Structure 1
Amino acid sequence: MKNLIYGMLLLSFSCVNQGTQKTQTKTNQIEDKNVSLEKHAAKVMDILIRKDFAALAEQIEMGQDLLFSPYGYIDTTSAIRFSKEKLKQAATQQQKINWGEYDGTGDPIELNLAEYFDKFVTDKDYLKCGANPINETTAVGNMVNNLEEVFPGYDFIEYYCKGSDKYSFMDWGALRLVYKVSDDKIYLVAIVHDQWTI
């Protein structure tokens, strides 16, 4: 009888231990992924600051596109998307691209790639301002943030620069890097700029 009870206790302990190990393994995997995403995001931010479009193109999954959105609400009908090759091509040209409409006026956003970066990617020192934890946002404006609807299940890292007293903190800015993680590979799928809108 004692042996039976002892055996049952051992079996119970073993099951609990296996469950704990599985939970710990999953936690470690999430932590490893998060560290990888944070490192990748810092690398991408450096690429963006330098406007190294060839290096940026290498962050795009083969056969897929990189989406750009000037505002927090991603208009999937007008958002510009570049494949690896199209991004490299656009970097060598001065051709104006229609990126959507300016908030407030509705005027077309007609800028070449470098000009777009100046206005909607490197408009603030986002790397210095710092990043939020993965999949967390600080930026709250009067425009709907539909990132999770457009990219369900994807991870993102938001770099956020808070506003100043001078402008009643309405001159804040945010840049969100959206990622796809597949087979331990990390691909950049979107660069979403956000700011206070009228």
Structure 2
Amino acid sequence: MKVKVGIITAAAILTIGILSVNLLNDNPNSSGGENPIPNNQDVNQDIEQKRGEEEDNNSYDPIMLKQQATEVLQAIHGRDMDVLSSHVHPEKGLLFSPYLSVTDETVKFEKNEIPSLLENDATYLWGYGEANTEIQLTSADYFDKHLQVKRFFESDEIFVDTQNQEADPTNYLKTVFPDSKIIEFYHAGTEQYSGMDWRSLNLVFEQDEEGAWRLVAIINNLFTP
């Protein structure tokens, strides 16, 4: 009888031990699990790490970018296409729009086309002006008529990646270029025209593969009735 009790007791202990081992292995939070579920602290650390990486990828120096935009302005004013080309995004090229509108038909040039841009005699449809008239010009004529940047050297305000409620109340450019940094040179209107003759020039920058901010668009903006 004692022997039977001993055997039954030993069997019970063995069964409990096996069940304990199985439960330990099945527990996803145990150290022996192959795919442990991270605790809240681990999840939070991962989120913070990813957020930090995103911020690093999107980081910029406002002062440096403003200086870069000023150099672009000077290059346009001096018709120095070599300097302008040095700022252009190597993969995305450079887009031009005479108004605050960007479509699939908006004129765009590759970086290697910029140095000889003003020597190009081809006529392009840059957009539509008053009464829906076509703006068909050569690159040189477009620069002369639609990129008169001298006024912006004495801008009333320069917006560095900040929305200008008067010129772009819907923040349109940020929807078109969500990963961009935009420098806007803003020239306020005059009393003579009740402020409706305001103008702005938007220089849009996006990062290249090395993380440098490069010019991808030059977009005019002005009051249109």
**Separation in 2, partners of 1:133, 1:162:** 13
Q: Aligned match of 1:107 in 133, 138, 144?
A: 133
- Shift of the alpha carbon at 1:184? 4.2
Aligned counterpart, 2:200: 174
Letter in 1 for 2:196: M
Aligned counterpart, 2:179: 153
Letter in 2 for 1:65: G
- Shift of the alpha carbon at 1:124? 5.3
Taking structure 2 as the reference length, the TM-score comes to 0.67
Q: Aligned match of 1:34 in 51, 58, 62?
A: 62
Write out per-residue CA displacement over residues 119-138 of structure 1, whole angstroms, 9 at most, x where no aligned residue.
Answer: 22215511211542311243
**Separation in 1, partners of 2:159, 2:168:** 22
Output aligned runs, 1:40-189, within 5 Å: 40-74=68-102, 76-102=103-129, 104-122=130-148, 125-138=151-164, 140=166, 146-182=172-208, 183-189=210-216
**Separation in 1, partners of 2:160, 2:69:** 10
Q: Does the Cα contact within 8 Å between 1:72 and 1:145 map onto a contact in 2?
A: no
Counterparts in 2 of 1:96 and 1:190: CA distance versus 1, 3 Å: same
**Separation in 2, partners of 1:147, 1:82:** 19
Counterparts in 2 of 1:145 and 1:122: CA distance versus 1, 3 Å: farther
Aligned counterpart, 2:21: none
**Separation in 1, partners of 2:65, 2:168:** 29
The percentage of counterpart residues that share the same residue type is 27
Counterparts in 2 of 1:160 and 1:56: CA distance versus 1, 3 Å: same
Letter in 2 for 1:97: Y
Q: Does the Cα contact within 8 Å between 1:66 and 1:81 map onto a contact in 2?
A: yes
**Separation in 2, partners of 1:155, 1:185:** 12
Unaligned 5+ runs, structure 2:
1-51
Counterparts in 2 of 1:142 and 1:180: CA distance versus 1, 3 Å: closer
SS of match in other structure, 2:72: helix
Counterparts in 2 of 1:143 and 1:137: CA distance versus 1, 3 Å: closer
Q: Does the Cα contact within 8 Å between 1:131 and 1:157 map onto a contact in 2?
A: no
- Shift of the alpha carbon at 1:101? 1.1
Q: Which has the higher contact order (CA 8 A, sep 6+)?
A: 1
- Shift of the alpha carbon at 1:145? 5.4
Taking structure 1 as the reference length, the TM-score comes to 0.75
Q: Does the Cα contact within 8 Å between 2:182 and 2:202 map onto a contact in 1?
A: yes
- Shift of the alpha carbon at 1:41? 0.8
Letter in 2 for 1:181: Q
Aligned residue pairs, count? 171
